Structure 1
């Protein structure tokens, strides 16, 4: 037998491995589980990176409003929800502020008023622990939605804590995955913890900035009031109060001597509606603050003394405006309904500012009074110097010139000296009138000088020439009834001159000598005969019927009207 040919594998037919079927299926399942776990790890790693990005976004700002907006934006992206919101809980237990994302401006306007914290939102506030619902509409505490609100099903809510206090709640609705998972809840809780720290930092920063703002306002108020460069100091106080409190309006109500509290200054949206309002002391918050001297905070605008206003008012703070232990009035600031309410910290800042402003206003009032006293004293000194020294010397010179004129035998010299004497007499009269004008009593109401000059200026524009006017003596001693009579006589005399006298010059002099007022009206016209009839006591002319009225005509045709009336002696005068 010869050499054998080599055999090939094909000669043995198809080969089969003797592996059992069951172990092979288990291996395939194990490999599938490993791959699924790997996908879960990758997904978890992605969500953790998203959580880190959310932490970085939330912690990157110090502005409280920006931080709140970052929180809702990051939460919505983190758990893949359609809508996200953060409700800030106020001191009354309801939502003071509602920051949200996922709705456009048109939808928000159609919904109207934002949630206040009732229904499921209120349940989360009361329980202060996470709530996860597959369908919030089926929950017993569901309060429904207002007209125009988009449909919502799945819900996830977690509280946001600042140390041991609940600041607000984070709300997430409409999971893109159908409903929220336990992992979504864990991520939301982790983000809420970071949000609490970020909110606390932002609030501390905001409070420090607010303290700096109020301190700057108090300093500027004091400097401006002491400088006296602001004609309306109360408006200055209100402007700083409104800016410092971020208020929509500010009012200042002062306590009068009669015991009434009246709004004497106001700025903002309600200025024209509340200015001049008398506040009820018994039925208003302002009245309570005036009587107690204790600041107060309310969310009921009616309790603050305002009523029948064109816009709804939300939170209002009323603080006393005082100097020492004396309450001068109240300072109030308010926000429109829908805005975040004031806090106790806001009330404290405003009370401190009002205390500084009250002291500054009182010191400024005392300073103005002292300055007025100094001005009066200076006027007295100047008046005394002019009256005793300058007038006396001029009178001595006039007397000497009068003696020289009498002794002179030359008519031209005598006439010139007489003219000089007349000039000196007129100068003395003007100095005395100036001295008497320095008397503060001459600037009281019903001032004779001012009223006569007004009448004379008006008549001068009709006559076509200036009426020469002079005043001698203190007009402060003239009582109001005599002032009315004198003004009426001058009015009627000038009216008669305008109609009939055809005058080209008119002189009016008011003199008070030895408690006797004399009014002289002299014109160079034809006649003023009718004036005697016009100025007789009655509805026109001399209203009180006091005094003596006389009239004469000189050889050159000029008319001289004279009215004299005795004046009562002022107490304490010589």
Structure 2
């Protein structure tokens, strides 16, 4: 029987078969390694292909799960306090995730990765001493691989993989691949952070520009404060934003405007005690403050009922223009248990608050400039009336007075009546001049002006009198008459006209109020029946009491059928601090 020349001895053939098997195994290992490297490159490409942070985190989790063939994967993002602030998962459907409830806070094995940021690879999770078990509804998990995710050397979060498919545990190669992916992910997350920060800075700048435009357009202050709160709530992605301003002359702060996810209308108008509060600390220190929990902050918690259930993690920034003291604070907060804020958030909020305060200051300067221009125009008109119009009318009156002596008696009375009317015109023009010179502050505005108050009294008594009383005002009433004396004077004029309407049966009435540097006089004259009964006389007791309260006097000149003249005279104080014009 012929012998096959290619037949090897049994021992030699066995060694050759073993060598071929080894080569094939190495080939398969090389092929698997190349495939996993290609998977790593694909995963890195997918992770780096987006700049939106939420999409980047989702791609990181999905890529990690596919890369090491895990059934479950998650990424826990750490908050400012070092606990899990955001949890992105893969491998669980929404229904099961809802049954589990809230995401983990970073306890057990997850907490160990936070406190000791280095890779952890376990065959069985339940056997580790740090294991805290699973909540109800959580799927069973056995093998585990976790690696820290560092961004610029700072802990950003951790990658968690569980249940290696088709094998009992994750390998060292899996660990190395996941560490490599974590490195790529860190760069992508850093880029996404920079992009998101740039976008948010742009949003803050747009909001600042919108507020500045609203202020310069003359928008009401309350509407601007509401806009500040709304923009802070929107751009900071917060649950609540409120503008808090101090109440003049008191030790309290008031919520002037608020915006939030829930109904925050009840916050507006609420008063807060400034003592030992973060708001007071931010104002006195002129520095923005970051808090992990506004309601429990040791520096001064916002713990009253105003913030109950609303103030968890938050920020407080002073509304402060450059080189100016704070005019209030801007409070931004999330509900208790929600995510916290970072230093970069505080920096952007502080810049926004400063820009808002600067815009308010510019608007105030613009308002003051417009008021100054108005005062200058009023002063010009007053000078023209005094230097030209009054002089012309006065000269005309003199000419008519001289003409009266050269005409017969019938014409003389008519001419003198015209002269008297010209005198009234001069008096009214002088009153207009004093109104134009009246300060635009507390003494001269529509609410506090004595001249306007007396004019309003004359107008409102027209119906009861049956005619319009003549009102003559002489002297700087809004400047010389103190506020408390102005109240009594208004009451005297109103009471005097009311008495005429009820008792005098008059057809004309004249009110003349004059002020000199030393004396205030009110003269009320009518052509009625006179003081013929005691009822009307007894009604004058209040007028006399008001005069005597200020060291003055009341005199009455009346005869039956010849009308009544009432003179109410009081001395004026010098430099009274409550005088409407004293601050000007």
Q: TM-score, normalised by structure 1?
A: 0.78
Q: Is the alpha carbon distance of 1:427 and 1:173 closer, same or farther for their aligned partners in structure 2, counting shifts above 3 Å?
A: farther
How far apart, in 2, do the equivalents of 1:109 and 1:523 lie? Answer: 90
Counterpart contact for 2:144–2:170, Cα < 8 Å = no
Q: 1:307 aligns with which of 273, 286, 303?
A: 303
Q: Measured at CA, do residues 40 and 461 of structure 1 come closer, stay the same or move farther in structure 2, by a change above 3 Å?
A: farther
C-alpha distance in 1 between matches for 2:529 and 2:12: 143
The aligned residue for residue 486 of structure 1 is: 489
Partner SS state of residue 312, structure 2: strand
Q: Which is further off, 92-101 or 540-549?
A: 540-549
- SS of the aligned residue for 1:210 comes to helix
- Residues 20-65 of structure 1 deviation map (CA, whole Å, 9 limit, x = unaligned): 9999999999999999999888877776665444333322211212
**Any residues of structure 2 matched to 1:172-321 within 5 Å, and which?**
172-175=161-164, 177=166, 180-182=169-171, 184-218=174-208, 225=215, 231-232=221-222, 237-253=228-244, 260=251, 262-263=253-254, 265-269=256-260, 272-273=266-267, 275=269, 277-281=271-275, 283-302=276-295, 303=297, 305-308=301-304, 309-321=307-319
1:539–1:395: structure 2 CA closer, same or farther, 3 Å change rule? closer
Partner of 2:78: 89
Change (3 A) 1:161 1:533: same
Residues 138-185 of structure 1 show CA distances to partners (whole Å, capped at 9, x for unaligned) of 322123444555554443322222243322112233555475522544
User: Which residue does the alignment assign to 1:11?
Assistant: none
- Relative to structure 1, the CA distance from residue 221 to residue 312 in structure 2 (aligned partners, 3 Å threshold; closer, same or farther) is closer
1:512 matched to 2:514? The reply is yes
Return 5+ residue gaps in structure 1 as ranges: 1-17
Deviation at 1:391, TM superposition (A): 1.6
Q: What secondary structure, in the 3-state scheme, does the structure 2 residue paired with 1:449 have?
A: helix
Residues 540-555 of structure 1 mapped to structure 2, 5 A cutoff:
544=549, 546-550=552-556, 552=558, 555=561
SS of equivalent to 2:541: coil
Given that 1:492 and 1:531 are in contact with CA atoms closer than 8 Å, whether structure 2 keeps it comes out as: no
| Inter-partner Cα distance in structure 2 for 1:152 and 1:462 | 92
- The aligned runs of 1:460-479 (5 Å cut-off) are 460=462, 469-476=471-478, 477-479=480-482
Shift of 1:344: 1.9
Instruction: State yes or no: 1:565 paired with 2:562.
Output: no
Q: For the Cα contact (< 8 Å) 2:258–2:268, is it kept in 1?
A: no
Flag the 1:539–1:299 CA change in 2: closer, same or farther, 3 A: farther
- Tell me: CA distance 1:178–1:332, structure 2 relative to 1, closer, same or farther (3 Å): farther
SS of match in other structure, 1:115? coil
2:147 aligned with 1:158: yes
Q: Identify the match of residue 47 of structure 2 among 58, 77, 86.
A: 58
Matched-pair contact (CA < 8 Å) for 2:253–2:274 = no
Give unpaired runs (5+ residues) of structure 2.
1-6
Range that drifts further, 239-248 or 130-139: 239-248
Q: 1:133 to 1:524 in 2, by over 3 A?
A: farther
Alpha-carbon shift at residue 568 of structure 1 (Å): 0.8
User: Could you tell which deviates more after superposition, 30-39 or 261-270?
Assistant: 30-39
TM-score by length of 2: 0.77
**Aligned residue pairs: how many?**
553
Q: Kindly indicate whether residue 116 of structure 2 is the aligned counterpart of residue 127 of structure 1.
A: yes
- Does the C-alpha gap of structure 1 residues 569 and 385 become closer, same or farther in structure 2, counting only changes over 3 Å? farther
Is the 2:427–2:474 contact (alpha carbons within 8 Å) kept by the matching residues of 1? yes
Report the counterpart of residue 533 of structure 1 in structure 2. 538
Aligned to 2:145, the other structure's residue is in SS state strand
Contact 2:278 2:316 in 1 (8 A): yes
The whole-number CA distance in structure 1 between the counterparts of 2:553 and 2:97 is 80
- Provide the C-alpha distance between the structure 2 equivalents of 1:502 and 1:76, rounded to a whole number of angstroms: 101
Q: 1:487 to 1:196 in 2, by over 3 A?
A: same
Bigger Cα Rg: 1
Superposed, which structure 2 residues align to 1:349-428 within 5 Å?
349-362=348-361, 364-365=363-364, 368-369=367-368, 372-373=371-372, 375-409=374-408, 411=410, 413-414=411-412, 416-428=414-426
Alpha-carbon distance in 2 for matches of 1:185, 1:242: 42
For the residue of structure 2 that corresponds to 1:327, the secondary structure is coil
